[in-house]
Structure 1
Amino acid sequence: MSNKRREFLKLTGLAGIGLAGTGLLGGCATAAVPAGTDQAQKQTGRSHTQQFNMSGYRAPKLDKVRVGYIGLGMRGPGAVMRMNRIEGVEIKGLCDLVPEKVQAVQKKLADSSTNHNPTTYAGSEDAWKKMCERDDIDLIYIATPWDTHTPMALYAMEQGKHVAVEVPAALTIEECWQLVETSERTKKHCMMLENCCYDFFEMLTLNMARQGYFGEIIHGEGAYIHQLLDLNFSKKGYENMWRLKENMTRNGNLYPTHGLGPICQIMNINRGDAMDYLVSVSTDDFQMYEEAKRLAAKDSFFTPYVQDTYRGNMNTTTIRTKKGKTMMIQHDVTTPRPYSRIHLVSGTKGIARKWPEKKIATGHNGWLKPEEFKAVEEQYTPEIIKKLGEMAKKIGGHGGMDFLMEWRLIDCLRNGLPLDQDVYDAASWTAVGLLSEWSVANRSNSIDVPDFTAGAWQKNAPVDISLQGAGTTNVRI
């Protein structure tokens, strides 16, 4: 194992977790792994007394939601301009380390003929803190590199702000716990911006599951299969090549939440069931090291990236729940496979699958015929899609799901409704990726998934994607 790999495991608090006698690793003991029961209990079996249950929490209504944005690189500008279309939103602050990026978004807002006049923050590593400290901001929207997500979210909550943070929410299990404990103590929402929960077919199958179409759901599958080899090695892609560096030093399911989030909602994870333990296996790397060598031969800029520590091409992680159900989540961002998040829902009465094409089957009759599929789709399309679906497609953001996510967030805050994703989802969905790295490093032994709800999953209500009598937030055409 490389020194960097050992350093990562140490930072996660998972280095040296023992197998024998801990009761945490499913009985798959191997003498090659050193003992370390204390660390294991601290991080995965950690005892947590819930200070306040954020699942189902209704924060006080906000007539207007005043928003500050941190990070205006790849995702931030689009988020600002989509929020600009939602009435009841005031864009109060724009922050990025690079002044030119702030200026570009400020100009777009000015050209949009709206009344936003945000204060800008740039040029300093700590400029974002000044924005968080303002008393006229309700929500901080974080779209920065992964290693800054938790520090920014924690500081914002401590300053009395709700938080919407890009995926993943954290880079260590300890950070996951910090998010949970801070959200509970401050009673401020911490929502991870898992946009795939708001894609159209995912919401359709969630509503079908709520209506019992699939019967008892026993298995789900998700993935992030997306060819990003060129983008990860692009000088014009991620600031300071930060995402490539993540792929250099970590081996596991680095980005599980796009496929995992929708499946967790459908299977009522943290709300009637909980993830129990996982196992994870990765292939070797067959492309990233070779790509680094190829580029370095032409451009010395890439010489530092010629290292043999890249994560494997394909990772497969399998999760078992407390109620004996399973999930399979894959990650591959290098091979030339067509894009897929799989999204498979399997129950005792029916099944649905999104990729490579949308299919639904019921009973033992095979896939529905096109006219049957259309009838089911019309019957189970959720209220939010009927209200905003076509508008969302026009406004955009990954086909409209980004806009649906942001509109829903604002509408819930304005009407005092529980958020669809709470801090326990942010922590547990993120933790799957972190724990997958431990499993890969230890011959795919199983490891427990922490219960961030402190047992409250047994009584928490499932996500309610209906408009709940609200849906009052208008959109600027």
Structure 2
Amino acid sequence: MKSVFNRRDFLTAGAALAGSLMMPTAFAATRERVRIGMIGTGMRGQVLLQELLRRDDVEVVALCDIEPIMLGRALKQVEKFGKAKPKTFGEDRDPQAYKRMLDAGTLDGVIIATPWEWHAQMAIAAMQAKVPVGCEVVAGVTLQDHWDVLNTQLKTNTPYMLLENVCFRRDVMAVLQMVRSGLFGELIHLQGGYQHDLRAVKFNSGDPAKPYGGGVEFGAKGWSEAKWRTEHSVQRNGELYPSHGIGPCAMYTNINRGNRFTRINSFATKARGLHDYIVKQPGGANSPSAKTQFKLGDVVTTTLACENGETILLQHDTSLPRPYSLGFRVQGTDGLWMDVNNSIHIEGKSKPHQWEDFQAYQDKYDHPLWRKHAKDAEGAGHGGMDFFVIQSFIEALKARAPMPIDIYDAVTWSAITPLSEQSIAQNFQTLDFPDFTAGAWKTRKPIFAL
């Protein structure tokens, strides 16, 4: 597939992020192609790799992974697309192999799609090597991780983008158009979260051909995410995955651009779901996994207060049986939208005390780039969202433009995790939310202009 987003489209749309970022005035340094490396070629990495390989303005020149099976699968992807074989790093299983890739000095950008605990140190190493970063969520694990990533970016001035794909969801972007047009009036309260049954992701048989379910192994005996992600449920109690929910809510409320988070608190329920899942599986009750004590509460509820008076509620719910939902709600003085029932109510337009189906509103307010590129996004991961998140990163690199989800967004959204852990550990205390912008939020302008 040819690059479906040319420079004229980019300038007309106004931004790398779905046409809404305010662009610099000079474009003398734009480039037609970029050389990209990837650290982490596991299942998530392979989804992003596909989007890179679909483009003719990207050369995937380096791949790094310490798991030979995954590295081999990534190379087969490259071969399938008829692209030149990239250099590979990590076959020796050296955890520091990514540094050799960064030292090569041939990269215009790097995608980081590794386990969470590696994100901060890999991003820091890349920025120190002057390689722009597109990092999968989350930005870091500890609060200090977030300050270190931020300070490195500010010191090196190397671009950093958090690859939060839900910001590109079609209905989310349509609601952004509605917010900007004033359809909801003044915003009052928002909700979102990560409500996704991950039990079969956190446990499997350890068979590389069966990454989801089929057993109760995790850690060293597990495979894919069960190898690393489940341990976070053992050791940590907090809002472990905030960006899917908070990203859109932060866009709607102009966080870091005229608004900021001021206070945060979190509550966690008891932990029962993962143990219950284990003992119900064949042989699970007698397995070593059944003796594991899980720290993560089954439902974690986090509330954020904003400088401009809004509240935002997030819920993390991954250990119990349930259908997938991000639970979005955008409520203002003139009405509200909720994604769970795909409904909207606007005072003066909807019948009193009745919901309307959201589809007609989505069609009316559909974002211009979804109108233009819906066909191009077909087949991309997460219902097309991965097409847009990769495109926004690549187009910003090509134009040497500001990243649409920038370093301040990344650390602010992601720092909710360690702050929620602190709140829960301190008997659900309400904490001050750090100002990562050091006051710059007062003068920074919204990037999602219509």
* TM bin (shorter chain): 0.7 to 0.9
Give CA deviations for 1:339-370 in whole Å, capped at 9, x if unaligned: 11011111112211111x32122115355645
Deviations 1:408-439 (A, max 9, x none): 22122222332220011110111111111111
Find the counterpart in structure 2 of residue 194 from structure 1.
164
Give the whole-Å Cα distance in 2 for the aligned partners of 1:57 and 1:444.
42
Matches within 5 A, 1:5-84: 61-84=30-53
User: How many angstroms apart in 1 are the aligned matches of 2:177 and 2:411?
Assistant: 24
Q: Given that residues 252 and 282 in structure 1 are in contact (C-alpha distance below 8 angstroms), is that contact kept between their aligned partners in structure 2? A: yes
Look up the match of 2:8: none
Is 1:406 the equivalent of 2:390? yes
Letter in 2 for 1:72: T
The residue correspondences of 1:421-436 to structure 2 (distance < 5 A) are 421-436=405-420
Matched, 1:168 2:168: no
- How far did residue 398 of structure 1 move? 0.7
Runs of 4+ in 1 over 6 A off after TM superposition: none
Letter in 2 for 1:413: L
Residue 439 of structure 1 aligns to a residue in which SS? Answer: helix
Structure 2 equivalent of residue 472 of structure 1: none
**1:331 corresponds to:** 316
Tell me, in whole angstroms, the C-alpha distance in 2 between the residues paired with 1:57 and 1:174: 31
| 2-structure distance, mates of 1:64, 1:205 | 33
Displacement, 1:295? 6.2
Structure 1 SS opposite 2:312: strand
> 2:194 aligned with 1:224, yes or no?
yes
2:215 paired with 1:245: no
Secondary structure of 2:43's counterpart equals coil
**8 Å Cα contact 2:301/2:316 also seen in 1:** yes
1:397 aligns with 2:402: no
Q: CA deviation at 1:141?
A: 0.3
- List runs of 5+ in structure 2 lacking aligned partners: 1-20, 212-222
C-alpha distance in 2, partners of 1:286/1:240? 18
Query: How many residue pairs are counted as aligned between the two chains?
Result: 406
Checking the alignment, whether the CA contact within 8 Å between 2:36 and 2:110 is kept in structure 1 is yes
- Contact residue 254 and residue 433 of structure 1 kept, 8 A: yes
Give unmatched runs, 5+ long, in structure 1.
Answer: 1-54, 467-477
Note the aligned Cα RMSD (angstroms): 2.2
Asked if structure 2 preserves the Cα contact closer than 8 Å seen for 1:274 and 1:322, the reply is: yes
Contact 2:188-2:332 within 8 A present in 1 as well: yes
Q: 1:150 matched to which residue of 2?
A: 120
Contact 2:274–2:320 at 8 Å: present in 1 too?
A: no
1:294: how far off? 5.8
Q: Give the match's secondary structure for 1:272.
A: coil
Q: Distance in 2 between matches of 1:299 and 1:67?
A: 46
Alignment of 1:255-294 (within 5 A): 255-292=241-278
- Which amino acid in 2 is paired with 1:173? L
Task: Find the aligned partners of 2:439 and 2:31 in 1 and give their Cα distance.
Answer: 30
Structure 1 residue matching 2:386: 3-state secondary structure: helix
Q: State the alpha-carbon separation in 1 of the partners of residues 100 and 225 from structure 2.
A: 22
* Aligned equivalents of 2:226, 2:318: Cα separation in 1: 19
Amino acid at match of 2:54: R
Amino acid at match of 1:361: H
From 297, 307, 310, the counterpart of 1:322: 307
**Separation of aligned partners in 2, 1:107 and 1:217:** 48
Match of 2:421 in 1: 437
- Matches of 1:100 and 1:374, distance apart in 2: 43
TM normalised by structure 2 equals 0.85
Aligned residue identity for 1:93: A
Letter in 1 for 2:417: G
Given the alignment of the two structures, is residue 134 of structure 1 paired with residue 104 of structure 2, yes or no?
yes
Give 1:262's aligned amino acid. P
* Aligned with 2:371 (options 386, 400, 405): 386
Q: Which amino acid aligns with 1:313?
A: D
Aligned-residue offset at 1:299 = 8.6
Instruction: Tell me, in whole angstroms, the C-alpha distance in 1 between the residues paired with 2:31 and 2:424.
Output: 45
Please point out which of 93, 109, 124 is paired with 2:78: 109
SS at match of 1:395: coil
For residues 56 and 444 of structure 2, the distance between their equivalents in structure 1, rounded to whole angstroms, comes to 31
CA deviations 1:117-174 (Å, max 9, x no partner) are 3111122211111111122201110110110000000000000111011111100111
